[in-house]
């Protein structure tokens, strides 16, 4: 795994995310970000029901074909229904794709929204809309949902509030500023490797290859810093930065190999499976918002059904069902929202190559935990899956509903946003919620 930090502005790397040693700490690189984060945080108040405290967003980059997944049309003509068959689920009367058998077994634990739609069929602009809950604007760069959560929710000690795992998007903090950008974690084969850290000369790059050697040197450096008396002079934000280095929560959470073999097997060993397990562990450690990005969902060509059947659906099915089950088992699901979505759906009618093109007019999403209903289907599309015919909703509505469960209404005002309200056009979808 590779860890780096990003400013959140167009995906540019935020170099020197951590600076080890007194000179770096006095430079206020990480502490300054933590100070800005602390100044912007708004604690949750009021209400009689426990609010959600974290979100895991599974981002299906490229636009998933939800008509072949969660909103199938088995009675439609062949050029619409495709080659997959629907199967029964744990939710009576509701079917999903035959290649999602694990999800079918736990559908009674989730909310399935079949009436999500918008009008943007471009990947970049569509992703901005869904990932920010705001229509793209030429005058203001809206913050991602993760950055907004980092600004609003009180941070946990020793772990960044917003982390992206796997294939990340370029959507970051926008007008909130780089303090709320994500810590980016790139998954790769082999043991964890940390990059994007600014190290003093006593930590040569080669030392990164020897984790124990690096840990000993880091411990020695921190011990010397303690003995110098400098920590007593640091303000609370500098101290929090030092605590992040000492606690090592992020590093430990990302060590999915520390999980019991049975748990690892439950998630599977695909990239999305390992990422989902890492996301669960990060939430357990105190992260507020974790985005798990997966790609290759832009299936225009003749390999559309083959790619879904052989690669995309099996790995997602295993990872998503394991994540929901594991969060529930750990007692985390009640306060953690799982949100699985892409930037748009795909055309109801197959193209000449046998694939499906971009189609924002109808799409489906799954939400679970954090106060969302178990075993509920919201809305429906028409006979051919062209557009919603019942309870249509938009990405800003879903975003507003998620943040309502986090304790913030769409009209909640944040001074660093140009128009102040977090979701000025969003409405809370009350039927999706238990309370």
Residue, of 421 and 308, whose pLDDT is higher:
308
Residue, of 367 and 15, whose pLDDT is higher:
367
pLDDT of residue 10: 39
Share of the chain above pLDDT 70, in %: 74
pLDDT > 80? residue 374: yes
pLDDT of residue 416: 77
pLDDT of residue 251: 81
Residue, of 219 and 275, whose pLDDT is higher:
275
pLDDT of residue 294: 92
Would you place residue 414 in the very low, low, confident or very high pLDDT band (cuts 50, 70, 90)? confident
pLDDT of residue 218: 58
Whether the Cβ atoms of residue 305 and residue 180 lie closer than 8 Å to each other = no
pLDDT of residue 383: 96
pLDDT of residue 45: 35
Structure tokens at 422: 């977090």
β-pairing, 95-97 vs 86-88, is antiparallel
Would you place residue 357 in the very low, low, confident or very high pLDDT band (cuts 50, 70, 90)? very high
Closest CA to 259 of 278, 286, 246: 278
Give the distance from CA 370 to its chain's centroid. 14
pLDDT > 50? residue 207: no
pLDDT of residue 61: 96
pLDDT of residue 381: 98
pLDDT > 70? residue 317: yes
CATH class of this structure's domain 2-432? alpha beta
pLDDT in tens, 238-261: 554 555 555 578 888 888 999 999
Average pLDDT, stretch 102-114?
98
Mean pLDDT score of the chain, rounded to an integer? 82
pLDDT > 60? residue 343: yes
pLDDT > 90? residue 393: yes
pLDDT > 70? residue 222: no
Is residue 223 exposed (0-12), middle (13-18) or buried (19+ Cβ within 10 Å)? exposed
**How many other CB atoms sit within 10 Å of the CB of residue 135?**
16
Count of residues for the chain? 435
Q: Dihedral of CA 245/250/254/255: which sign? A: positive
Average pLDDT, stretch 342-361?
97
pLDDT > 90? residue 415: no
pLDDT in tens, 19-66: 333 334 334 445 544 454 444 443 333 344 589 999 999 999 999 999
How far apart are alpha carbons 15 and 2 in whole angstroms?
A: 14
pLDDT of residue 264: 96
Would you place residue 153 in the very low, low, confident or very high pLDDT band (cuts 50, 70, 90)? very high
- Where do the structural domains in the chain lie, given as residue ranges? 2-432
How far apart are alpha carbons 5 and 186 in whole angstroms?
A: 11
């Amino acid at each position: 795994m590779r860890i780096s930090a990003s400013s959140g502005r167009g995906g540019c790397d935020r170099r020197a995310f951590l600076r080890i040693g007194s000179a770096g700490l006095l430079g206020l690189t990480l502490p300054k970000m933590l100070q800005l984060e602390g100044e912007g945080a708004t604690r949750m108040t009021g209400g009689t029901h426990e609010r959600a405290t974290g979100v895991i967003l599974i981002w299906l980059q490229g636009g998933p074909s939800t008509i072949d997944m969660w909103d199938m049309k088995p009675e439609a003509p062949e050029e619409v229904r495709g080659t997959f068959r629907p199967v029964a689920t744990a939710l009576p009367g509701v079917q999903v794709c035959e290649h999602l058998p694990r999800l079918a077994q736990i559908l009674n634990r989730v909310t399935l929204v079949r009436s999500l739609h918008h009008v943007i069929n471009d990947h970049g602009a569509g992703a901005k809309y869904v990932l920010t809950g705001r229509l793209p604007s030429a005058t203001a760069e809206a913050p991602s949902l993760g950055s907004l959560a980092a600004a609003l929710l009180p941070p946990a000690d020793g772990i960044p509030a917003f982390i992206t795992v796997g294939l990340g998007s370029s959507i970051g903090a926008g007008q909130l500023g780089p303090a709320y950008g994500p810590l980016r974690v790139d998954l790769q084969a082999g043991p964890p490797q940390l990059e994007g850290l600014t190290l003093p000369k006593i930590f040569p790059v080669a030392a990164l290859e020897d984790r124990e050697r690096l840990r000993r040197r880091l411990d020695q450096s921190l011990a010397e810093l303690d003995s110098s008396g400098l920590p007593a002079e640091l303000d609370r934000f500098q101290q929090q930065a030092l605590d992040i280095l000492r606690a090592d929560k992020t590093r430990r959470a990302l060590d999915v190999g520390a999980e019991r073999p049975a748990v690892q097997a439950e998630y599977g060993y695909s990239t999305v499976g390992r990422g989902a397990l890492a996301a669960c562990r990060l939430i357990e450690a105190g992260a507020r918002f974790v985005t798990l990005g997966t790609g290759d969902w832009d299936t225009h060509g003749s390999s559309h059904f083959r790619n879904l059947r052989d690669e995309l659906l099996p790995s997602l099915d295993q990872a998503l069902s394991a994540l929901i089950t594991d969060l529930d088992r750990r007692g985390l699901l009640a306060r953690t929202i799982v949100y699985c979505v892409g930037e748009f759906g795909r055309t109801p009618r197959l193209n000449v190559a046998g694939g499906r093109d971009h189609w924002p007019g109808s799409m489906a999403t799954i939400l679970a935990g954090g106060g969302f209903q178990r075993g509920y289907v919201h809305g429906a599309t028409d006979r051919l899956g062209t557009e919603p015919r019942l309870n249509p909703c938009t990405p800003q509505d879903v975003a507003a509903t998620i943040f309502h469960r986090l304790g913030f209404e769409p009209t909640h005002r944040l001074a660093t946003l140009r128009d102040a309200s977090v979701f000025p056009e969003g409405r809370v979808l009350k039927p999706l919620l238990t309370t």
